[in-house]
Amino acid sequence: MYSGDRDIARGRVGAFHTTLAGLAPHWDRIDVLTPGHAEARPTTLFGHVYVHPSPRSRFAQRRFIVGMVKELAGQRHYALAISHDHGVFSNGFAAMEIRSRLGIPYVSEIHHVPGHPRAGSMKERAQKWIARYYVTRARHRATAFRAVNNVQMPSLLRQWGVATDKILVLPSVYLDFDVFEPAEGTVEPSWDVMFCGRLDSNKGLDLLASSAAIVARALPEIRFLVVGDGPRAEALKSDLQQRGLSGRFEIRPWVDSPSDLANCYRCSRLLLCASYSEGGPRVCLEAMACGTPVVSTPVGIMPELLDDGLTGRLVDWQPADIATALLEILSDPAAGERMARLAQAAVQPFERETTLDNYAEAYLRLAEEQERRRTA
C-alpha cells in the first residue's frame, strides 16, 4: 500500500489506523509505505501490517517507493498494490513504474481532486490539471480506480477517459456507532459551530471566516470550534484576527482519540463544511451520527446524503448563503433537532464493520482475479 498518511508511522490513531485494522484480518501481510516525518518510525501493527516511513524528503517519494518495493518483492510475492493518489501523484507514478518493471497490479485510489467541483485557489486549478494528466496516463495501466462517492468522482473519471468497468465505488467513510452516537440526555453546547479538517485551501477557510463574520454580527456571542491543523493554519488565524473574530474561535490542532472528537461534535450545535472539494467528507457523517446537524457545500458524497432542509442544509459557495443556513438552524433549535434525527438515520448504512469488510472483500476478489490471469 503506497500511502500519503504521515500519522500512522508517528503512532497517531486516526482514520487510516482504523482502515488498516479492518483490512488486516483479510490479508496474510500488508506493507504500508508512507512519506517521512521527524517523528516517524518503522512499526508493526496487528501482527502483520508493516509500516515503512521514507527516510527521504517528499520530493523523493517516488524513488523511495520503487526502491522499497523492489526490496520487498525480492522476498515475497504481492498480489495487489493500493496507491493513494493525490497532489503531484508520486505514489501513482511509482505504482505505474512498479507495474511495468515487476508486474504488480495496482488500484489507484483518488478520493478527491483539488479544484473539483470548485477551485479554492490557483494552486488547486494547477492540481486539477496534474490530476487529469496522471489519470490519462494511468487509465490503461491501473487495474482499477477507486472512487468514494457514487456521482462526483466517477463522473470526472469517465470524462477523463477511464472505462466505467474500471471504476470501483467503495465508500471511505465508516462509522463506529459505539463511538459516534448521540449524547445520553441533554448536553449544554460548548460551541455553536464546529469546523473540522485539515487547514488547507480546499477546505474553504476563506468561506469559514467570511460567513462567521456575517453570523457574528447577528449573534455577537457566537462560539466557534476549529479542530485541525495544516499549511493554512496561521493564515486562518490572521484572517480571524483582522476580522475581530479571534475571541469567538477556539482552535485545536489535534484531538487524542475518536471518542474525544465525538464529544466535540456532541458539544456543538452544528457542524460546518465549507469545502471546495472533498471525497467524503468523513467529518460530516461522524457529526450526523452524533446527532449534530450539518451545513455543507455540495462536495463529495454530501449531495447524495444531505436532503436540503431535512437531513441538513446544502449550500452554495457563497458566504451569505452559508451564514443564512447557519443562522436558520441556530435560531430554530427544534428544526435542528429534527434534522439531527433524520441525519442519524441517513448514515446508518456506513456502519464500520460492514463497510470495511466490503472494502477488503472487493480488493480480495480483484487480487484473486489478477492471480488467475497471471497463472493462466
pLDDT in the model for residue 325 = 98
pLDDT in the model for residue 179 = 96
pLDDT in the model for residue 256 = 87
Q: Cell 446544502 identifies what position?
A: 314
Per the domain annotation, does 186 fall within a domain? no
Same domain, 229 and 267: yes
Q: For the residues 157-178, what does the mean pLDDT come to?
A: 95
- The total number of structural domains that make up the chain: 2
Same domain, 198 and 220: yes
Per the domain annotation, does 185 fall within a domain? no
Same domain, 362 and 282: no
Per the domain annotation, does 334 fall within a domain? yes
Percent of the chain with pLDDT over 90: 91
Same domain, 227 and 362: no
Per the domain annotation, does 201 fall within a domain? yes
pLDDT in the model for residue 210 = 98
Which residues neighbour 39 within 8 Å (Cβ) at sequence distance 6 or greater? Answer: 10, 11
Per the domain annotation, does 1 fall within a domain? no
Same domain, 108 and 91: yes
Question: What are the two backbone dihedrals, phi and then psi, of residue 135, each rounded to the nearest 5 degrees?
Answer: -60, -40
Rounded mean pLDDT of the chain?
95
pLDDT in the model for residue 5 = 93
Which residues neighbour 286 within 8 Å (Cβ) at sequence distance 6 or greater? Answer: 175, 180, 261, 262, 265
Nearest to 270 by CA among 183, 185, 194, 335: 194
CATH number of 271's domain: 3.40.50.2000
pLDDT in tens, 351-372: 999 999 999 999 999 999 999 9
Per the domain annotation, does 184 fall within a domain? no
Same domain, 13 and 158: yes
Same domain, 201 and 342: yes
Same domain, 103 and 219: no
Same domain, 219 and 246: yes
Per the domain annotation, does 27 fall within a domain? yes
Residue 249 pLDDT more than 90? yes
Same domain, 306 and 356: no
* Alpha helices in 175-318, H assignment, sequence order: 205-218, 233-242, 258-266, 282-289, 302-305
Q: For the residues 123-148, what does the mean pLDDT come to?
A: 96
Question: pTM for this structure?
Answer: 0.90
Q: Beta-strand (E) ranges in the chain?
A: 30-34, 43-45, 49-53, 81-84, 106-109, 144-147, 167-169, 191-196, 224-227, 249-252, 268-273, 294-296, 313-314
Same domain, 170 and 228: no
Confidence of residue 280 (pLDDT cuts 50, 70, 90): confident
Per the domain annotation, does 321 fall within a domain? yes
Same domain, 68 and 214: no
Confidence of residue 376 (pLDDT cuts 50, 70, 90): confident
Confidence of residue 15 (pLDDT cuts 50, 70, 90): confident
Q: How far is CA 93 from the centre of its chain?
A: 21
Q: Which residues form the domain of 24?
A: 8-174+352-375
pLDDT in tens, 16-34: 998 999 999 999 999 999 9
Q: For the residues 235-253, what does the mean pLDDT come to?
A: 97
